[in-house]
Amino acid sequence: MWRAPRSPRARVRIIGRCADTRNTPQVHAAVAGRAGIMVGFAARSGPVAQWWSRGLIIPWLQVRILPGPPHRQLPEASTSASRRRSTGEGGGLTRVERYGRTHARTRALTPLIIGAGVLLLAAALGLAWALTAGTSSASAPTVADAGLTQSPASSLGETPSSGATGSAVGLDIEVPDVVGKSVQVAEALITAAGLTVQTRVSDVGSAGVKVDAVLEQAPSAGVRVQGGSVVTLTYQPKYGVTASGKTFVVVVDAGHQAKPDMGLEPNGPGSSVRKAKVSPGVMGVATGAQESVESLAIALRVREALKASGVDVVMVRTADDVNISNSERARIGNRAHADLVVRVHQSFSSDPVLEGVTTFFPSGNAWVTAIEMPSRAAAQHLEDAVVRATGARKHDIVGRSDLSGFNYSTVPAVMIECGYLSNRAEDAKLATPEYRLKIGDGIAAGVMDYLRTL
């Protein structure tokens, strides 16, 4: 590279292999020309026109500056710059200075132009994705296609939990299987799948199912639905614990026993009236089934359902071959500090047509005054729940003052007679495991309804 003779008006600074990289080759040429210097350009590749159109300095541009003819100053009037300086146009800037400003603005706008292009590209991609998702949702099966309906949360007392976003709506999603899982885990799985959760508590505890476990789901596992669809989970509540953390205690007494005990005992503390300790039960007219056997089968089902709901259950007996007097049965409940004692029996009448459920509660004497009102409330809950579960005929609840099992009790107690063994049709139903299951679940549901009020 050759250096030109210094000139007072020379404004070009040569650095290494290329000229000042802050300006374009054209600027260097113009400045050199005013200094009386002739400039020649040489590049490794690419036409000069390309450098000019882009207005960019290429780092590896080689600039050769050679001595030229003396600079000839043109008359001021003949140059556009002099005219602008004389008239005040252009702010008194030379062509080179104006060109430098224009180039600086171009470089400042370049990032904005690039950013705008990126935004336009992103918008185009987003629009294409949205059109694709909308096309796939048009053919996605719905809950209605599977023959299922969705009930509003307000009609079931349910708790909705939405896990779907707007972008998930319209996608074809398979409902996961959550039966048997805890309700917390089930909610997390349903939400993660892009669906909405509704929860409802079971009407009665189910034997063998852990507390807070999902019993049913609708739609069923494997059904394909749209994103955001509602999945209703029915779960096993933990009703057996109060808000303060106390576990409810329920004593279940299966009436009678295999052999009666006709020995006498006072029908209440200090009473002069004496009754048989355990009277014989009745027998079914159609099946010949013993009341003690059928009552025990129902009582065992009640135990399982209550335990599944977290209740601490105490059984007066779990076998038929026992000998426990009515007063002792009441004392078992007293010692357990039971929240409720449930005595399970069957009815018998000289009228073979009579059928249905009857529930008794202690009333009418000083021994039971303290427990009469809560016992009455519990009796109503039990009768309503059993009738609801079985469809049996409902009889009014009845207060009794002559039952030793009530008169010795210091805790709320009820006695439910589940049906008439004197009615051939009802006797036949009571002998079936399916009907006993309904009665047992109904009794447990009634007990839970009562415990919720405590």
CATH of the domain at 194: 3.30.10.20
451-to-83, 310, 414 alpha-carbon distances in Å: 104, 12, 14
Is the per-residue pLDDT at 193 higher than 80?
Answer: yes
Residue 240 lies in a domain: no
What is the C-alpha separation between 309 and 24, in angstroms, rounded? 85
Position 108 in a domain: no
Residues 170 and 262 in one domain: no
**Cα–Cα distance, 385 to 340 (Å, whole number):** 16
Backbone angles phi, psi at 204, to 5 degrees: -150, 150
Residue with tokens 């009845």: 398
Any domain includes 123: no
Residue 361 CB contacts under 8 Å (≥ 6 apart), including other chains: 372, 375, 376, 378, 379, 397, 398, 399, 400, 406, 413, 414, 415
Residues 229 and 320 in one domain: no
Question: What's the mean pLDDT in 146-161?
Answer: 43
On whether residue 242 sits in a domain, the answer given is no
pLDDT value at position 132?
64
Q: Considering the domain boundaries, does residue 384 fall inside one?
A: yes
State residue 32's pLDDT score. Answer: 53
- Predicted pLDDT of residue 95: 67
| pLDDT for 221 | 93
453: left (phi over 0), alpha (psi -120 to 50) or beta: alpha
Instruction: Name the residue with tokens 């050199």.
Output: 32
Residue 79 pLDDT more than 80?
Answer: no
More confident residue, 413 or 18: 413
Please tell me whether residues 273 and 366 are part of one structural domain.
Answer: yes
Average pLDDT over residues 361-386: 97
3-state secondary structure of 226: strand
Residue 177, helix vs strand vs coil:
coil
Rg of the chain taking only CA atoms, in angstroms: 48
pLDDT tens per residue across span 234-270: 987 776 777 677 899 999 999 999 999 999 999 999 9
Which of the four pLDDT bands, split at 50, 70 and 90, describes residue 309?
Answer: confident
Band of pLDDT at residue 1, cut at 50, 70 and 90 = very low
Distances in Å between the alpha carbon of 124 and those of 85, 118, 119, 214, 254?
50, 10, 9, 45, 75
Please indicate, yes or no, if residue 176 is contained in any of the structural domains: yes
Both 159 and 73 in a single domain? no
CA distance 139 to 416: 56
Asked whether the predicted pLDDT for residue 213 surpasses 90, the reply is no
**Residue, of 83 and 360, whose pLDDT is higher:** 360
Position 18 scores a pLDDT of 42
* 152 and 187 together in one domain: yes
Q: Which has more pLDDT, 205 or 99?
A: 99
Structurally, the chain folds into a number of domains equal to: 3
Where is average pLDDT lowest: 26-30, 221-225, 323-327, 338-342?
26-30
Domain contains 275: yes
Q: How confident is the model at residue 106 (pLDDT cuts 50, 70, 90)?
A: confident
Alpha-carbon distance 426 to 285, whole Å?
A: 10
In a domain, 281, yes or no: yes
Q: Which two tokens stand for residue 260?
A: 């009666």
Classify 42 as helix, strand or coil.
strand
Q: What pLDDT does residue 80 have?
A: 53
CATH number of the domain at 376, please: 3.40.630.40
pLDDT at 134: 53
Question: For 73-77, 117-121, 225-229, 443-447, which range has the lowest pLDDT when averaged over its residues?
Answer: 73-77
| Cβ atoms of 305 and 444 closer than 8 Å | yes
Over residues 137-142, the mean pLDDT reads 44
**Residue 441 confidence (pLDDT):** 94
What proportion of the chain, given as a percentage, has pLDDT over 90? 53
Q: What is the rounded CA–CA span in Å between residue 65 and residue 84? A: 30
Residue 93 and residue 230 in one domain? no
Examine the domain organization and report whether 376 and 263 are in the same domain: yes
Same-domain check for residues 350 and 286? yes
- Give the pLDDT mean for 279-288: 96
- Highest mean pLDDT, choosing among 43-57, 61-75, 208-222: 208-222
Measured distance CA(37)–CA(91) in Å, rounded: 27
Q: What is the mean pLDDT of residues 115-136?
A: 72
Q: Is the dihedral of CA 44, 49, 54, 55 positive or negative?
A: positive
What is the structure's pLDDT at 390?
96
- Kindly report the backbone phi and psi dihedral angles of residue 66, in degrees, each rounded to the nearest multiple of 5, phi listed first: -115, 150
The three-point CA angle 81-85-88 to 5° equals 130
Chosen domain end from 213, 235, 257: 235
How confident is the model at residue 110, as a pLDDT? 78
Domain match, 231 and 268 both = no
Domain of 293? 249-452
Which residues are within 8 A (CB) of 122 and not within 5 positions of it... i.e. 6 or more apart?
none
Amino acid sitting at position 282: V
343 and 210 assigned to the same domain? no
Distance CA 392, CA 360 (A): 17
320 and 418 housed in the same domain = yes
pTM of the predicted model as reported, rounded to 2 decimal places = 0.57
20 and 84 co-located in one domain: yes
CA distance 255 to 403: 12
Quote the CA–CA distance of 168 and 425 in Å, as a whole number. 55
Q: Which residues contact 173 (CB under 8 A, 6 or more apart)?
A: 193, 194, 195, 224, 225, 226, 227, 229
Q: With 70 as the cut, is the pLDDT of residue 51 above it?
A: no
Q: Rank 75-84, 195-204, 206-215 by mean pLDDT and report only the highest.
A: 195-204
